[in-house]
Amino acid sequence: MNLNTVIFIMGVSGCGKSTIGQRLSQHLKIPFFDGDDYHPKSNIEKMSQGMPLNDEDRYDWLVSLNDLAKNQLQQNSCIIVCSALKQSYRDILSAQIRNQVKWVHLAGSFNQILERINKREQHFMSSNLLQSQFDTLEFPEHALEINISLKPEEIVDKIIKELKMKSEFGLFGLGVMGKSLSRNLAQKGFKISIFNREEKGSEEDVAITFKDAYKELEQAQAFSNIEAFVNSLQTPRRIMLMVNAGKVTDLVIEDLIPFLSDGDILIDGGNSNYVETKERYDYLKSKKIHFIGVGVSGGEEGALKGPSIMPGGNKETYHLIKPYLESIAAKDANGLPCCTYIGEEGSGHFVKMVHNGIEYVEMQLLAEVYTILKIMGHNPDEIAAILESWKAKADSYLLGITIAILRKKEGDYWLVDKIVDKAGNKGTGNWTTIATAQLGTPSTLIASALFARYTSFYKEERLQASDHFNIKPTPLELELQDVLKAYQFSRIMNHYQGLKLISEAGKTYKWHLNLSEIARIWTNGCIIKSDFMLELVSVLKEDDNILTHPTIINQVRSLKPSINKVVSQCVLNELAIPCLSESVNFLNGYATANSSANIIQAQRDYFGAHTYQRTDDASGRFHHSNW
Ligand SMILES: NC(=O)C1=CN([C@@H]2O[C@H](COP(=O)(O)OP(=O)(O)OC[C@H]3O[C@@H](n4cnc5c(N)ncnc54)[C@H](OP(=O)(O)O)[C@@H]3O)[C@@H](O)[C@H]2O)C=CC1
Ligand SMILES: O=C(CO)[C@H](O)[C@H](O)COP(=O)(O)O
């Protein structure tokens, strides 16, 4: 049988590891090894003198069992029994072969095991010794847990059923993202089940056809029946939903619930609204189902090669899915997964939502730069060449794809010239703008980028207005260096505002967010990965507010004259640049020691007796005037 797996059977002394291991080995026809036979001489001597082993003594022994497991995997599979009571021991045992290791934990109560040991002929274990085993035991998070009250043959049956037949992870929804993620999971060696609905006559055998198309999905189980899909999974079941956010997500959850059991885990990988994630968490909790809201970024390619993953929800539940998410995630410059536990409730989806808000602005800024360069007289190839030269100073994934887009030709024409100038959206920019207003944080660039998309959609009205108002930008006289610097300036403001929004949400909802860690998982795999993001990881380690960090202050100071020049030129030449102009307006307002808000306060007090504070009253007391 080709399992290509090492089955570690673990548990405290007396739980029956060897009996089960030997029986399982006979059934599966794979070799059995008793870990105790691999102790070095020094350990055996120590134990024979009744001296307990410490972690240092155990280290070489655990490494030798890990070597044994790796060697056996070259041939096929094996069973190794070892108490493996601590997670650190299990980490050593499964080092470099984590995805090919299955843990079976034989679990029983203290009294159950003590009684069992003491019943054995000529065998006595003091309750103190057993207690020390229970004290050391750190419950494994990713093990198949089997109660030892079952008969040995039942235990073996259960293990065979779970490990041989059942998948460890389910992927529901084989659209753009679901397809890529399931291939990614399979490529990492996970045994998965995949599901897509089918519609008789139009959409049949979607999952099977997809499985058959890719070699890496050979071991995957494909379904179009929900019950069969759910039953194909090991318990607790781990099911990731990659379906449309909103109503569809709720419908799919309702479809799944009748087949789920207590403790199963649903993972929503779609771009769901963070408020709904919290509601779904509470609803599913009442049904004893765990729910984790996971932001995933990277698009089709990222999902396949390694996305950036932002999981939020209960931390203990997260640990049950962590190995899967971390394995498929992109890796940062230090080889760490671009996946980190974000925080409680819908925090993962909140962070993904703001990621998309930042993405909207980054895209809009590049669109504005394109407009400027076009008005300056450059064709798409020339603009691509200019942007290419910016890579040294402002490289990003979005800059790269914009260059590729500009170079794409159909015959003699650039494709970009044939695309209708109406920008769509699926909701995350809208929600970010609502969230920033609700939290009282000025993410003005995200709002501007969103409204620029909305404005673009009024194509008919825009055509009329262009006649009525005769807005015809004239050629701009700008240095390319100034355009680059203006772009860099606006990107700083964008990242400041997005991170500020996350930081404020973290405080309001008590999510305890780590901004530097969030920036780190955005350095690879996601749509907003960039060299600047890499720089922000260290900046944010020192200061949550990037605009008070000396490095960023110096950058803003040196870029400011260019954004002033570019924006004023564009305004004088009637060229719409909503995000570039908002970025400089924002900083001008933010960095004004004495703003015009005194007039607003006076007006509010005049008509509504809303009161105001006085500059000549340090107590901060509120005053009212009879105007
Ligand atoms: N595309 C992207 O770049 C990214 C998307 N996301 C998010 O990931 C999620 C999935 O996106 P994506 O893969 O692009 O979307 P697709 O539209 O490509 O796929 C949607 C999936 O949902 C299934 N589905 C829709 N309605 C139902 C239903 N009522 N019952 C069962 N299944 C249903 C579809 O099945 P069927 O094929 O039968 O219609 C399909 O498998 C969304 O929330 C999206 O916002 C996140 C990051 C990036
Ligand atoms: O999450 C994503 C990228 O990160 C999706 O591609 C999302 O659809 C982009 O948002 P919109 O469709 O509103 O432009």
606's tokens: 């005049």
The answer to whether position 114 is within a domain reads yes
Among 119, 148, 164, where does a domain finish? 164
Work out the angle between the directed axes of helices 347-375 and 578-590 (0-180°, nearest 10): 110
Domain CATH number, residue 396 = 1.10.1040.10
Domain CATH number, residue 300 = 3.40.50.720
pLDDT for the residue numbered 123: 59
Looking from the CA of residue 363, the nearest atom of ligand 2 is 14
Residues 340 and 361 both lie in one domain: no
Q: Which residue segment(s) compose the domain that 328 sits in?
A: 167-345
129's tokens: 């010794």
Looking from the CA of residue 269, the nearest atom of ligand 1 is 8
pLDDT for the residue numbered 314: 95
The bound ligand whose nearest atom lies closest to the alpha carbon of 210 is 1
Q: Please give the distance, rounded to the nearest whole angstrom, from the Cα atom of residue 252 to the centre of ligand 1.
A: 11
Give the count of beta carbons closer than 10 Å to the beta carbon of residue 378.
17
Looking from the CA of residue 355, the nearest atom of ligand 2 is 4
CA atoms of 409 and 175, how far apart (whole Å): 28
Question: Over the stretch 68-93, which tens digit does the pLDDT of each residue have?
Answer: 999 998 887 899 999 999 999 999 99
Least Cα distance to 546 among 590, 511, 577 occurs for: 590
Which amino acid appears at position 262 of this protein? D
pLDDT for the residue numbered 99: 62
Number of domains in the chain: 4
Residues 375 and 410 both lie in one domain: yes
Least Cα distance to 352 among 304, 396, 311 occurs for: 311
Beta strand extents in 492-615 (DSSP E only)? 612-613
Q: Please give the distance, rounded to the nearest whole angstrom, from the Cα atom of residue 181 to the centre of ligand 1.
A: 12
- Identify the three-state secondary structure at position 5: coil
Opening angle at CA 327, ends 160 and 312, nearest 5: 100
The answer to whether position 300 is within a domain reads yes
Phi (first) and psi of residue 79, to 5 degrees? -120, 130
β-sheet bridge partners, residue 193: 170, 221
Q: Please give the distance, rounded to the nearest whole angstrom, from the Cα atom of residue 604 to the centre of ligand 1.
A: 48
- Identify the three-state secondary structure at position 311: strand
537's tokens: 């990881």
Among 324, 345, 366, where does a domain finish? 345
Q: What is the pTM of this model?
A: 0.81
Residues 247 and 296 both lie in one domain: yes
| Spans of the chain, pLDDT less than 50 | 1-2
User: Which residues lie closer than 8 Å to 544 by C-beta, 6 or more apart?
Assistant: 499, 503, 515
Task: Using only the alpha carbons of the chain, give its radius of gyration.
Answer: 30
Residue nearest to atom 6 of ligand 2 (CA): 299
For residue 294, the 8-state DSSP code is E
Residues 200 and 336 both lie in one domain: yes
The answer to whether position 529 is within a domain reads yes
CA atoms of 69 and 65, how far apart (whole Å): 6
pLDDT for the residue numbered 121: 56
Phi (first) and psi of residue 188, to 5 degrees? -85, 5
Which amino acid appears at position 358 of this protein? I
Residues 218 and 99 both lie in one domain: no
Q: How many CA atoms lie within 13 A of 125 on its CB side?
A: 22
- Identify the three-state secondary structure at position 147: strand
The bound ligand whose nearest atom lies closest to the alpha carbon of 526 is 2
Q: Are 196 and 209 in contact (CB under 8 A)?
A: no
Active-site annotation, residues = 352, 359
Residues 293 and 369 both lie in one domain: no
- Identify the three-state secondary structure at position 142: coil
The answer to whether position 548 is within a domain reads yes
The answer to whether position 1 is within a domain reads no
Percent of the residues in the chain that have a pLDDT greater than 70, as a whole number: 98
